[in-house]
Structure 1
Amino acid sequence: MRVSAQREKVRFISDGTECVAWHYPGRNGACVVMGAGGAVTKEPGTDPFAGPFHEAGFSVLAFDYRRLGESGGRPRQVLRMGEQLADWRAAIRFAATLPEVDPERIAIWGFSLSGGHIFRAAAGEPRVAAAIAQMPLADGLNATPKAGRHQRPSAMLRFTGRGLLDAVGGLFGRPPLLVSLAGEPGTISMLTTPDGQDGDRALNPGNRYPDWPQVIAARSALRITLYRPSRHASRVRCPLLVVVCEQDQTAPPGPAIRAARRAPRGELVRLPGGHYAPFLDAHEQALDAELSFLRRHLLDRAEPEHRAAESAAPRTGRA
C-alpha cells in the first residue's frame, strides 16, 4: 500500500466540533476531498486511493466524520446523516483554503455510505468541480431487503430490537448500544452479506489499523436502512463518476446505475466483484478509471484557461 510520507494532520471545525484529517499537499492545484464508508475511519477507508491520487499530483484531504476516529463529538460511533453532510460542507470549505489548492478545482470522493453522501454533497455544494461515488449506498430501502436474505429471521428481529432500544436510550442520553459492522449470518451485525465479510480483509489486512473499532451504534444502523441519497442525483450539475461492482450484495448496483443515468453529467464504470472489490482484485481498474476522470475534469479543463490567460496578458520585453 502506498501512503505518502508527506501527509500532515490538520483540523477544521464543523458546527462547533473539531474534525481531523490527513492533508497530502499536491502539485497540480486540484484537490480531492475523501470520506470513508460507514463507521470506517480515514486510514483504512481512504489510504489505498489517497496515496495514488497524491502520487499523481493531486492534493488530498481525507477526513474523519465527527464522532468517529480522531475527530471530536460524543457519543461515539453514532452516525447522523445531517451531521455527516455538514462535515462534508466544512471539509470542502477547508480544502478551498489550503495554500496549494485552486478553489475552482475541488473534487469529492466517497465509498459505500459516503458514496451515497456524494450525491447529496455534490448537489448541494456549488464549489464541487467533480465527484466520485464508489460502490455507493444509493438507496437503503432497496438494499436492506436484499441484504436481509443473508440474515436469519431470529437474528434480524434481535438486531431490530437492539436498534429500537438504542434509539430510545439515545433520547435519554444513554451510551450507544453497539453492533459489529460485519459478521456471519445469525450474529447481531450490520452486514451479514457474503461480500460484507470481506471488509476486514479489504480495509484492514494483517490488522494494519488496530485502532479502528469495527462497531456502530445500533440506532445508526437503522437510520442507514432508510437513507435514499440517489434521489438527489438529477440535481448534481458537476461531472459525476459512479463506480459499481456487478456482484455487489451490500450496496446493490441497480439504484446507483439509475442515479448515474439521471445525473446531467453522469458517467458509469462497471467492475467485476463484490462490495470491496475496488480494495481487492479490482483495485487497479477502479484507480485507473478514477484518475482518468479526475485528470479530464480537474486538469484538462484548466489547460485551455491557462493558455487563454497567457495570450490575454500584455507582453513586455525587447523584440
Structure 2
Amino acid sequence: MIANGHNDKQRNIEFLSDGLTLSGLLRLPEGETQHPLVILGHGLGALKEWTLPELADALVKAGIAALWFDYRNVGDSEGEPREEVDHIGRLEDWQNAISYATSLAEIDSQRIGIWGTSLGGRDVLAVAGLDKRVKVVVSQTPVIKWSSMTGARMGGYGDDMDRYHQELAEDRTNRALGKPARYIPFVKEANDEVKKAYIDQLSPEETRNYKGRLTLQSYKPTIFTDVTPFIEMIAPTPLLFILAESDFIPGQREAFDAAKEPKSLQIIKGNHFSPYTTSKEDSISLSRDWFVTYLSS
C-alpha cells in the first residue's frame, strides 16, 4: 500500500488495454470485506489527477472503493502519439478497467459502478449499454454527438469546415509518411475563462503530466457519432444524469428522455465546466448518493 494524505489504503495500479499498460489508482475503504467499487474517468484530454481524487474521497468515506485511471496516450499511461484522444480505444480502456477491477480480491465483482464526465460521460453511457457487469452509472455533462461540426468547433475551427477537413487530411498524410503528429492547444482562446478558473488553479502535482495540447486528430470525425442508441440499452441499470443548467453541449435532455427507468436527472448551476469549479461539491454529493443507493445494499 502507498501511504498518502487521504487514506493509507491507496495504491498505484496498472492494467492492460489492447496491449498498452494503463496507469491509475485504487483507494479502498476501511475494513477487510469485499467492497463495492466505482470506476472514474475524466473528459477530453483531462488527467486522472483532476477532480477525480476528490470524488474518490467522498466515495471511500461512504464505504465504496474507487479506481481511476489515465486513458491510453495521456498521463502515466502508455500509447502513441502522446496526448491523442482515441474515441473508440477509450471504450476498450473502460471495459478493461472493469475486467481488472473484477479480478481484485478486495472488490465485490457484482457491485461495480462507473462514473464519467464530459467525453467520459459519453463513454460510460456506451459502456453501460454494452457491458452488464456495470450495475450503476453516473453520466455528468455528457457529450452526446460527435459530428464533423462538433470536432471542428471543439478544435477551434468554428464553422470553417473546409479548413478543418483540409488540415486533418494534411496531417494524416504527414503521419502516414512518418512525420510527427500535429498538435493544437488544449484550451482554445475562446475558453480562456476555463484556463483561469480551472487549469490555472491546479497544483503542480495535478499538472505534472499536463502538456496543454492535443493532437489535431483528437478532433477528427469518428464512427462513434451518437451515443443515443446505447442509452436505450442501459436499463435496468440505474442511470443518473447530472447536467449543468447553462451547458453548451446539445442533445443532453433528449438523450436522458431516451433512457428507460430507473433513471434520474439532476441539474446543477453553471456551465459545462462548473462541476469542476463552482458546483463541484454539488456534483460530488449527487454522484456519491446515487452510488450509495444502488451499491451499498
TM-score category by the smaller chain? 0.7 to 0.9
> In structure 2, what residue type is equivalent to 1:291?
R
Contact 2:62–2:292 (CA<8 Å) still a contact in 1?
Answer: no
Q: Secondary structure at the match of 1:175?
A: coil
Contact 2:185–2:212 (CA<8 Å) still a contact in 1?
Answer: yes
Shift in Å at residue 173 of structure 1?
3.9
1:278 aligned partner: 275
2:242 aligned partner: 243
Residues 235, 206 of structure 1: CA spacing in aligned structure 2 closer, same or farther, 3 A cutoff?
closer
> In structure 2, what residue type is equivalent to 1:260?
F
Aligned positions, number? 285
2:232 aligned partner: 234
1:308 aligned partner: none
* Ranges in structure 1 where 5+ consecutive residues have no aligned partner: 185-191, 303-319
CA distance in 2, matches of 1:173, 1:115: 34
CA distance in 1, matches of 2:284, 2:13: 25
CA distance in 2, matches of 1:49, 1:203: 18
User: Residues 109-144 of structure 1: CA distance to partner in whole angstroms, max 9, x if unpaired?
Assistant: 111111101111111111000011111111123973
Kindly indicate whether residue 29 of structure 2 is the aligned counterpart of residue 30 of structure 1: no
Q: 2:107 aligns with which of 86, 101, 107?
A: 101
Residues 38, 130 of structure 1: CA spacing in aligned structure 2 closer, same or farther, 3 A cutoff?
same
CA distance in 2, matches of 1:241, 1:32: 14
1:64 aligned partner: 70
After superposition, the CA RMSD in angstroms is 2.7
CA distance in 2, matches of 1:93, 1:106: 10
Identity of aligned residues (%): 23
CA distance in 1, matches of 2:135, 2:42: 20
Give TM-score scaled by structure 1 length: 0.80
Contact 2:40–2:52 (CA<8 Å) still a contact in 1?
Answer: yes
* Range moving further from structure 2, 18-27 or 165-174: 165-174
CA distance in 2, matches of 1:3, 1:36: 22
> In structure 2, what residue type is equivalent to 1:113?
L
Give TM-score scaled by structure 2 length: 0.86
Contact 2:35–2:107 (CA<8 Å) still a contact in 1?
Answer: yes
Residues 56, 224 of structure 1: CA spacing in aligned structure 2 closer, same or farther, 3 A cutoff?
farther
CA distance in 2, matches of 1:173, 1:81: 22
1:215 aligned partner: 213
* Range moving further from structure 2, 260-269 or 136-145: 136-145
Residues 200, 98 of structure 1: CA spacing in aligned structure 2 closer, same or farther, 3 A cutoff?
farther
User: Residues 141-161 of structure 1: CA distance to partner in whole angstroms, max 9, x if unpaired?
Assistant: 39739958x96666x765554
Shift in Å at residue 181 of structure 1?
1.5
Residues 70, 266 of structure 1: CA spacing in aligned structure 2 closer, same or farther, 3 A cutoff?
same
User: Residues 155-182 of structure 1: CA distance to partner in whole angstroms, max 9, x if unpaired?
Assistant: x765554333223333344321111121
Alignment of 1:283-294 (within 5 A): 283-294=280-291
CA distance in 1, matches of 2:243, 2:231: 15
1:180 aligned partner: 185
CA distance in 2, matches of 1:65, 1:230: 23
Contact 1:35–1:45 (CA<8 Å) still a contact in 2?
Answer: no
Residues 288, 22 of structure 1: CA spacing in aligned structure 2 closer, same or farther, 3 A cutoff?
same
CA distance in 2, matches of 1:26, 1:199: 34
User: Residues 54-97 of structure 1: CA distance to partner in whole angstroms, max 9, x if unpaired?
Assistant: 22221111011111111111121122222111111100111112
Q: 1:262 aligns with which of 252, 258, 262?
A: 258
Shift in Å at residue 18 of structure 1?
0.5
Residues 152, 223 of structure 1: CA spacing in aligned structure 2 closer, same or farther, 3 A cutoff?
closer
Q: Secondary structure at the match of 2:232?
A: helix
1:187 aligned partner: none
* Ranges in structure 2 where 5+ consecutive residues have no aligned partner: none
Contact 2:240–2:263 (CA<8 Å) still a contact in 1?
Answer: yes
Q: Secondary structure at the match of 2:243?
A: strand
CA distance in 1, matches of 2:141, 2:278: 15
Residues 92, 218 of structure 1: CA spacing in aligned structure 2 closer, same or farther, 3 A cutoff?
same
Higher Rg of the two aligned structures: 1
Residues 231, 39 of structure 1: CA spacing in aligned structure 2 closer, same or farther, 3 A cutoff?
same
Q: 1:116 aligns with which of 99, 122, 147?
A: 122
Q: 1:8 aligns with which of 11, 14, 19?
A: 11
CA distance in 1, matches of 2:48, 2:187: 18
The structure that is helix-richer by fraction is 1
Contact 1:54–1:60 (CA<8 Å) still a contact in 2?
Answer: yes
